[in-house]
Amino acid sequence: MKTLNIVPVLVLILVLALTRLGLANDGKYFEAMQKNIKAIYEAQTIEQLQATVNAFERIGSAEKDKWEPSYYAAYGYIIMATREQDGAKKDAYLDQAMKAIEKAKAVAPKESEVIALEGFAYMIRVTVDPASRGQQYSGLSIQAYQKALAFNGDNPRALSLLAQMQYGTAQFFGSSTSEACGTLQKALEKFDSYKSENALAPQWGKQMAEKLKTNCK
Amino acid sequence: MSAFCQTIISGRITDKATNPIALANVLLLDTYDGASSDNDGKYSFTTTEEGTKILLVKFIGFKAYQMPVTLSGKPLNIDIVLEEEISELKAVTISAGTFAASDESRRTVFKAMDIATTAGATADIAGALNTLPGTQKVGETGRLFVRGGEGNETRTFIDGMLVLDAYGPSAPNTPSRGRFLPFMFKGTSFSTGGYSAEYGQALSSTLVLDSRDKAEMTRTDIGILSVGGDVTHTQAWESGSISGKLQYTNIRPYYGLINQEIDWKTAPESIEGISSFRQQVGKNGMVKLYGNFSHTNYSLYNHDIDDYNQTQLYDLENNYNYLNASYKDVLSNNWIVRGGLSYTLLDNNIKLDQTAIGDIEKGIHAKTVFEGSISDQLELKTGAEVINRNYEQAIYGAGNREFNEVIAATFVEADLYASNNFVTRVGSRVEYNNLLEKLSVDPRLSMAYKTGSTGQVSFAYGRFRQSAKNEYLRVNTALNEEKAEHFILNYQRIDNNRTFRIETYYKRYSDLVKYTAYDLSDLKATGDGFAKGIELFWRDNRSIRNIDYWVSYSFLDTKRNYLNFTEEAMPSFASKHNFSVVGKYFVQKLKSQIGATYSYTSPRPYNDLNNDKTNSGRTPYYADLSFNWSYLPKPYIIIHLSCTNLLGRDNIFGYEYGDVRNQEGLYNARPIRQAATRFLFVGIFITLSKDKSVNQLPTL
């Protein structure tokens, strides 16, 4: 009897040990991610961005079942593309961003944030050669935002980026920007109210939305 | 305990020229450990891992490097030299003879969209390519005539598969339009000579069209045109798409408004259906199916040259079916396979007064190609194909003439990179022709050398062959194939949205079809000829804001002694000087793109029957100023307006002669004119989709 009683205890100890091990690992992941997420939001130069992207890639190399490292690596590359003037280099950064997004999508195919980021990458693609790329990539971009919103209608980044595209289109056609400004209003509300359960979830984009808001008055 | 065993890894990352690479990512795979290199290329990090791990080094623009490392606590010093990735912009490419158009590639001279927005081309592929150097405008046909070659010497391929007769039927002396719309393709490669061994049975030029992959979104497009209408529906899903288009064209109302040179009984009317299907298979595989049917009919009266009141009725009914199935997949890291099957059916029923003539051509083309790299320095392409053409002409009461031609071919081509700046392509094509019972071997050779960061020189040589036209082959099925040899030298410079190209060539023709006087029953392959010339191209969309323009000039010197020529002479489709300027202007305020094209072609020869010399006559020069305007009032509506020959020039393409001499002992002549001075086109295109910001702009 005694020996039998020991089994559940052993199991419990083992489980506890494993969980602690898991927690320990997660703690390391969490810590590394938080440090670098802070760094990427604060990065000013292409060099700082690249160094932080490198760190995310290293984390991603160990944490293959997490989408966040690839997500932030892609985000870093997109921001690098926006800071770059040369079209060929912009494209090279965006190619890297797309690779990272594909990785994130493979882990979390229905993550609204990842799909919204994909739309952002397409949006920056347009800026390389608006005349010949505008049609194709703005279509793809809007499509991605709508898909992202279908997965999570509260995603403030998807809303704000969509508003950006709607605003650009309305401006081009000289039509009313009310639809764009409506979407933006919703985005701004969501920036304040929406809280993801995931502590590593993206937080960026509010500034961009507030900048667009000055055009909506 | 092992946890206390730490290994320090450090070293330096450089490129081949020992320049330091900063911010390269150095990492131990599957761990958190690693570092970025500093400004001197130096890196250093500590790891508590043990045993064998993979060290990976990567940086944008360089090939990733990896090596196994053994971690035992002993410090490791590892210096790594990264090899530059040959990006598309930096790589040397063979540009002799080739104009590639693509929206994806940054280095192409021409964008897919350019084809649709060139004024005067009215969204016709050949029409737009006719503004490029190497082409000689033959206004009464609308086809591509390249470097002293006839219209049939340019062959069209879709996804690598042959298309028999890529042009729709047109009334006599009116430009015919291509059967394939430019928006279907994501890439176009137009070669004016020296092309790959993959393409055979083309004497002068190839037009290689690469169809779009799966459609991205579900949508319906409606077109209301001044000459008809069309409706297209596209259904897209995650891994594929299907789309169908139905188009009806009737020029009758238009011809009722604008006076025509042609005496129509029934103006052209046609119905056309297109469907396409795309499906991704596995991770990298793609299956494409494309089908097209069209039915056209018209009838007209030909007036006798000597006696205008005497007429002959010409009635045409044309049926066309084209089916193309292609497959592409990745075999391994370095190899891809692609293949396909195409089928063309061309059925003409002609009535000349009471005489009925039936003309049927069927063609099947099957092909498989393997492409891959053996090493960084060697790329290989090899494949095999069979082209079977069955042709039959039946004249009521006069019997049949037919042939069944099978051409089996295999080809191999290797790209050898001596360095990043120098590439040589060597190839060979072996063909067996069942009608001749002969095996032939044709060599191909091209080279390209990069002279600087933006310029390159290339050279191409090749021998090409093509079966004689059906109208000759049906008379003598043992007629030898016509042959041509191309020698091309090219310099090209692409620099920040500006392109400059200069190209010179020499082309030698042999075994051209030859006969004496009017005896078409005795055909021999004894004709020959040559063509040489120099061509210039300049494109600039940077210097003037919102303006994109290009200028082409071609000089051609060509003579042939073929068909019933009594001596070596310039053929009637050739012209010495061709010049075009194409401009596009985007006006944000008007939400419009406005474009204009001016083309000039110097006088062309015609055979003056009142002169003993072959082709001694010269037409006046040809000139055309065309205009187009695309207006986007709403994101999903486009209004398109275009007009050719704005200045109304009465272009004359040649002369036809009567059958008998008149009282002065001369043959009566009648000029071949444009069917109408101008062609005016108005179209409204509406796109219905969930997302209202989509329109048909890329399709116009």
Q: What's the pLDDT tens digit per position in B275-319? A: 999 999 988 899 999 999 999 999 999 999 988 899 999 999 999
Is A122 contained in some domain? yes
| Whole-number pLDDT of residue B406 | 97
Residue A5 lies in a domain: no
pLDDT score, position A204? 94
pLDDT at B47: 92
Please give the CATH number for the structural domain made up of B98-699.
Answer: 2.40.170.20
Contact flag B634-A96 (C-beta cutoff 8 Å):
no
Task: Give the model's pLDDT for residue B165.
Answer: 85
Question: What's the distance, Cα to Cα, between the start and end of chain A in Å?
Answer: 79
- The Cα B191–Cα B97 span in angstroms is 5
- List the single residue in A54, A61, A132 with the smallest CB-CB distance to B29: A61
For B106, which of A87, A96, A143 is closest by C-beta distance? A87
**Could you tell me the two tokens for B121?**
């081309």
Cβ-defined contact of B25 to A54 (cutoff 8 Å): yes
Looking at chain B, the whole-number percentage of residues with pLDDT higher than 70 is 94
Contact predicate B197/B411, CB 8 Å: yes
Query: Is pLDDT at B385 greater than 70 in this prediction?
Result: yes
Mean pLDDT to the nearest integer, B670-686:
86
Residues of A in contact with B111 (CB under 8 A): 132
Give Dmax (Cα) for chain B: 119
**Is A39 touching B (CB cutoff 8 A)?**
no
Q: In whole angstroms, give the CA distance from residue A110 to residue A167.
A: 27
Which one has a higher pLDDT value, B94 or B397? B397
State whether B111 and A132 contact (CB < 8 Å). Answer: yes
Beta-bridge mates of residue B210: B187
- Per-residue confidence band for A100, with pLDDT thresholds at 50, 70 and 90: very high
Answer whether residue A3 is part of any domain: no
For residue A29, the chain B residue with the least C-alpha distance is B32
Q: Report how many domains make up chain A.
A: 1
CB contact under 8 Å between A58 and B32, yes or no, is: yes
pLDDT of residue B692: 57
Tokens matching residue B407: 């051409």
What pLDDT score was predicted for residue A7?
Answer: 62
pLDDT of residue A42: 93
Residues in chain A closer than 8 A to B56 (CB atoms) = 61
Which residue of A45, A94, A135 to mutate against B (max B Cβ within 10 Å)?
Answer: A135
Residue A17 pLDDT? 53
pLDDT bracket for residue A3 (50, 70, 90)? very low
> How do B592-601 and B577-587 pair as beta strands?
antiparallel
Distance from CA of A59 to the nearest CA of B (A): 5
Q: Do B23 and A54 touch (CB under 8 A)?
A: yes
Report whether B689 contacts B679 (CB < 8 A): no
> pLDDT band at B424, cuts 50/70/90?
very high
Residue carrying structure tokens 């031609």: B405
- Work out the average pLDDT over B588-596: 85
State mean pLDDT over B205-230: 87
Tokens of B507: 């082309």
Complex confidence, ipTM = 0.84
When pLDDT is averaged across residues B429-449 and rounded to a whole number, the result is 95
Taking the Cβ of residue A210 and every Cβ of chain B, the question of whether any pair is shorter than 8 Å is answered with: no
Residues of B in Cβ contact (< 8 Å) with A106: none
pLDDT (0 to 100) of residue A12: 57
Q: Is the Cβ pair B591, A28 closer than 8 Å? A: no
* B39 Cα to chain A: minimum distance (Å): 10
pLDDT at B678: 85
Mean predicted confidence (pLDDT) in A182-192: 94
Q: What pLDDT was estimated at residue A1?
A: 41
Q: For residue B248, is pLDDT > 50?
A: yes
B206 to chain A nearest CA, in Å?
A: 25
Q: Which residue of B has its CA nearest to A86?
A: B496
Average pLDDT over residues A179-189: 93
Q: What is the pLDDT of residue B560?
A: 96
**Which band of pLDDT confidence, cut at 50, 70 and 90, is reported for residue B42?**
very high
pLDDT the model gives residue B223: 87
What is d(CA B218, CA B280) in angstroms, rounded to the nearest whole number?
17
If you write DSSP's letter for every residue of A22-35 in order, what string do you get?
HHHHHHHHHHHHHH
**Best A132, A145, A162, A167 residue to mutate vs chain B (most B CBs within 10 Å):** A132
Residues 83-102 of A with CB under 8 A from B: 87-88, 91-93, 96
Q: Please give the pLDDT value at position B543.
A: 81
Q: Does A30 score more than 70 pLDDT?
A: yes
In this complex, the residue of A32, A93, A173 whose CB is nearest that of residue B32 is A32
- Which residue matches tokens 């160094």? A51
Long-range contacts of B135-138 (CB under 8 A, 24+ apart): B135/B192, B135/B554, B135/B578, B136/B554, B136/B556, B136/B573, B136/B574, B136/B575, B136/B578, B136/B601, B137/B575, B137/B578, B137/B599, B137/B601, B137/B622, B138/B573, B138/B604, B138/B653
CB A106 within 8 A of CB A97: no
CB neighbour class for B98 (10 Å; exposed up to 12, middle 13-18, buried from 19): buried
Q: Is the dihedral of CA A139, A145, A151, A154 positive or negative?
A: negative
> What integer pLDDT is reported at residue B399 of this predicted model?
82
Q: Determine the pLDDT at residue B4.
A: 61
Helices (H), B569-674: none
Is A62 in CB contact (< 8 Å) with chain B?
Answer: yes
pLDDT for residue B2: 45
Tokens of A90: 């912009």
Question: Domain map of chain B by residue range?
Answer: 2-81, 98-699
Q: Which residues of B touch A142 (CB under 8 A)?
A: 691, 693
What pLDDT digit, counting tens, does each position of A107-138 carry? Answer: 999 999 999 999 999 999 888 877 667 777 88
B172 or B328, higher pLDDT: B328
Q: What is the pLDDT of residues B135-189, one digit of tens each?
A: 999 988 889 999 999 999 999 999 999 998 889 888 777 788 888 887 788 878 8
pLDDT computed for residue B358 by the predictor: 93
- Distance from the Cα of A4 to chain B's closest Cα (Å) equals 33
Helices (H), B429-547: 470-473
Residue B256 pLDDT > 80, yes or no?
no
Contacts of A88 in chain B (CB under 8 A): 87, 89, 106
How high does pLDDT run on average in chain B?
Answer: 89
CATH number for the domain including A19? 1.25.40.10
Given a cut of 60, is residue B68 above it in pLDDT?
A: yes
Architecture category of domain B2-81 in CATH: Sandwich (2.60)
Q: Find the angle CA(A167)-CA(A170)-CA(A175) to the nearest 5 degrees.
A: 140
According to the model, what pLDDT value does residue B699 have? Answer: 40
Of B25, B586, B632, the CB nearest to A131: B586
| Residue among B29, B632, B693 whose CB faces A138 most closely | B693
CA separation for the pair B61, B22 (Å, rounded): 12
Strands B76-77 and B154-158: unpaired
Q: H or E stretch including B616? A: none
Q: Residue A119: give the domain boundaries.
A: 10-216
Rounded Cα gap, residues A121 and B283, in angstroms: 22
Q: A4 in a domain, yes or no?
A: no
Q: Average of pLDDT values for B324-340? A: 92
Neighbours of A65 (CB within 10 A): 6
Looking at the complex, report in whole angstroms how far the Cα of residue A169 sits from the nearest Cα belonging to chain B.
Answer: 7
Q: Is the pLDDT of residue B533 over 70?
A: yes
pLDDT class for B435, splitting at 50, 70, 90?
A: very high
- Cβ neighbourhood burial of B283 (10 Å; 0-12, 13-18, 19+): exposed
Q: How far is B678 from chain A (nearest CA, A)?
A: 29
Chain B residues near residue A91 by CB distance under 8 angstroms? 106
